[in-house]
Structure 1
Amino acid sequence: MDLPNRRIDRTRELERRGVRRTGRTRHVGTRRRQRDGNGAPHAPARAGDEGRRTRQVHGARIACRPDGPNGRLDDRCNRRPPRAARAKQTVVRLQDRVAIITECGRGETYGVVWARALAREGAVVVVADPDPARAEEVADALRAAGGQAAATVVDVGATPSCEALAAFALARFGRIDVLANTHHLWHDLRRDDTSDGYLHHVLDYNAVSILRTARAVLPAMRVTGGRIVSLSSIGAWYLGGRPAEQLRQTGELPSFAYPASKVLENGLTRFLAGALGAYGITVNAIAPGMIASPATMERLTAPERQAFVERTALRRLLDVSDTTGALLYLASDDAAHVTGQVLVVDGGLVMLG
């Protein structure tokens, strides 16, 4: 006795229901809209479906909206693209945009790592540094890796130098799209220098300087819009137990120049965001946590380093490269409506305290 061929029966059932089967993929055919005796189409199944094609998918009527991307039908009504078209593609978010790095320094610093990340995303990078030889060295490395870069000198403590930096970028590339304020002074809270002179120097270099660089790029950015991203720190909120420990041991407060500068920088970031938003300019900052850099490792004892690890939710210190994702997000169109924010990238240190 012949057994029934369930595959054939299933195919016939699908054809009867208007579903065409090809291989392992089912394609849902378009149902023609029935008309009444006067030739007018029946009312749509739902309010708001007028003028739309509809398809029956998994027992539900799906409206094909003609207002999809680039005027095409909604993706739910399009066939699946060929396998080659579905292959993962590299997204270059900053192609041909001009980005300024205000300091690179020595080693794997924020300036160097951020410049490299921007170049990988297609940006043209203007590398600036107080040391022109170091700026040229970093720019050469970017060009050797296939990127576009130029080097110049800058002193963010002087307004004319900041203006010259912006003029250099405009003369060389014709526009300024991203300003990355990577310059900063790292201050050990155990330093003995509590003088007003040192306090003013740190406040000026870490905070007031972002006003100078913003003013310098404003004539260019107010025409095309732009992104300003500054390097802040969790030091604006988190000091650990060292100030209290020093007070107990010496009877004196340490210098709070560094955390004070970061508090001021965060405030200026918000004020600049409010002032420049009308020109399509976003202003944000990134506040990294404890970075496992050589400079940090030299300043902390082994027990202190371990204490930071244990107080971090992810149980590890950060690498400078952990901040590049936040940078590229804030510098790209993905964050077009994000401004006045200080994005903390610390592995959960501030959260756990």
Structure 2
Amino acid sequence: MGAAQRLAGKIAIVTGAAGGIGKEHAKRFADEGASVVALDIDEQGAESTAKELPAGGDQRHLGGRVDISSLASCQDAADRVVAEFGRIDALVNNAAIYANIDHKRADEEYLDQVLSVNMLGPWRMSKAVVPAMMSQNSGRIINQSSDAALMYHVSRKPETLPNFAYAWSKYSVNGLTKFMAGVLGGYNITVNCISPGMTMTEATQQAVSPRMAERLNASTPLGRAMEPQEIAAAALFLASDDAKGITGQILYVNGGAVMP
């Protein structure tokens, strides 16, 4: 258990919590006293995460399935949390298509799939939890973008127009953050975004070649990749009262890889 207990008594939802950064978000929030609802399209993985989380006092952790490409699925998940806990204090929109994304496909069907999950998914999940946050006049929504949103030179001489799907979707998440912050501030709901740089998860190792990872890491001021725990620490800060005056911001956690 963390000594500070900055989220004691809070109810937090983390999407994409079956592994990687999402699992670290869930762990860090639980360490700080929150009751965590770990959600993922991989229901078994989400339940496994929930079972591993530390619990003390009144903490209760749950795992379950959500498909963020479906508003009905997001709404059902939010309704279950309200029915179980009576409130929702924080949402971390971490879930996305990443490790197995196919950059070579540029057909509309595939673009629709990626953008539906990565771009509209955070909007759907936020839409589902916002009524509960409005009714309690408080809440923290933390989106997760990527430094890929700012890396524009994908290829100088492509054979055809690339799909840009991942970077495009994450650029949109940055914009969504600001629009939501602008309309939800009156309900004491803050909306911020974390933009991780290269973060060494199993998904990254699957998506990025060792040679590319080495080159990208060497180009950063800190000369290394981020660890999932460093991304989770940023989310904890944004969910805590320490950040109650911060909204509509993009927090870059990337070792200095990009400095907008």
- Specify if TM > 0.5: yes
Give 3-state SS (helix, strand or coil) of 1:186's partner: coil
* Aligned positions of 1:182-197 closer than 5 A: 182-186=94-98, 191-197=103-109
Shifted more, 144-153 versus 258-267: the winner is 144-153
* Aligned positions of 1:47-126 closer than 5 A: 90-106=3-19, 109-126=20-37
Among the aligned pairs, what percent are the same residue?
38
Aligned to 1:326: 234
**Per-residue deviation, 1:302:** 3.8
Give 3-state SS (helix, strand or coil) of 2:119's partner: helix
Aligned to 2:87: 175
**Per-residue deviation, 1:145:** 8.3
- 2:219 alignment partner AA: R
* Aligned positions of 1:191-206 closer than 5 A: 191-206=103-118
CA–CA separation in structure 2 for the residues paired with 1:284 and 1:207: 15
1:179–1:300 Cα change, 3 Å: closer
CA–CA separation in structure 2 for the residues paired with 1:204 and 1:289: 23
**Per-residue deviation, 1:159:** 1.3
1:88-144 CA-to-partner distances (Å, cap 9, x unmatched) read x921110010000122234xx111110000000000001111222222111111157
**Per-residue deviation, 1:154:** 1.1
- 1:327 alignment partner AA: A
Q: State yes or no: 1:269 paired with 2:177.
A: yes
Could you tell me which of 114, 120, 124 is aligned with 1:208? 120
- 1:238 alignment partner AA: M
1:280-326 CA-to-partner distances (Å, cap 9, x unmatched) read 00011100001122332344444322211221100111111111221
Contact 2:98 2:207 (8 Å CA) reproduced: no
* Aligned positions of 1:234-273 closer than 5 A: 234-239=147-152, 242-244=154-156, 247=157, 251-273=159-181
TM-score normalised per structure 1:
0.68
Where structure 2 has 5 or more consecutive residues not aligned to the other structure, the ranges are: none
Contact 1:273 1:340 (8 Å CA) reproduced: yes
Q: State yes or no: 1:160 paired with 2:72.
A: yes
1:93–1:143 Cα change, 3 Å: closer
**Per-residue deviation, 1:155:** 1.2
Could you tell me which of 138, 141, 146 is aligned with 2:52? 141
**Per-residue deviation, 1:190:** 7.1
1:156–1:300 Cα change, 3 Å: closer
Aligned to 1:312: 220
Between structure 1 and structure 2, the one with the greater Rg is 1
CA–CA separation in structure 2 for the residues paired with 1:327 and 1:199: 28
1:304–1:164 Cα change, 3 Å: same
Contact 2:27 2:54 (8 Å CA) reproduced: no
Contact 1:119 1:148 (8 Å CA) reproduced: no
- 1:282 alignment partner AA: T
CA–CA separation in structure 2 for the residues paired with 1:218 and 1:164: 13
- 1:159 alignment partner AA: L
Would you identify which runs of 4 or more consecutive aligned residues in structure 1 move more than 4 Å? 143-147, 187-190
Note the aligned Cα RMSD (angstroms). Answer: 2.2
Contact 1:290 1:318 (8 Å CA) reproduced: yes
CA–CA separation in structure 2 for the residues paired with 1:251 and 1:191: 13
Contact 1:189 1:242 (8 Å CA) reproduced: no
CA–CA separation in structure 1 for the residues paired with 2:237 and 2:53: 21
Shifted more, 131-140 versus 337-346: the winner is 131-140
1:175-222 CA-to-partner distances (Å, cap 9, x unmatched) read 100011110111678731011111121111111122211111112101
Higher relative contact order (CA 8 A, sep 6+): 2
Contact 1:142 1:148 (8 Å CA) reproduced: no
Aligned to 1:226: 139
* Aligned positions of 1:281-320 closer than 5 A: 281-320=189-228
1:141–1:263 Cα change, 3 Å: same
1:158–1:189 Cα change, 3 Å: closer
TM-score normalised per structure 2:
0.91
Aligned residue pairs, count: 257
Give 3-state SS (helix, strand or coil) of 2:258's partner: helix
- 1:219 alignment partner AA: P
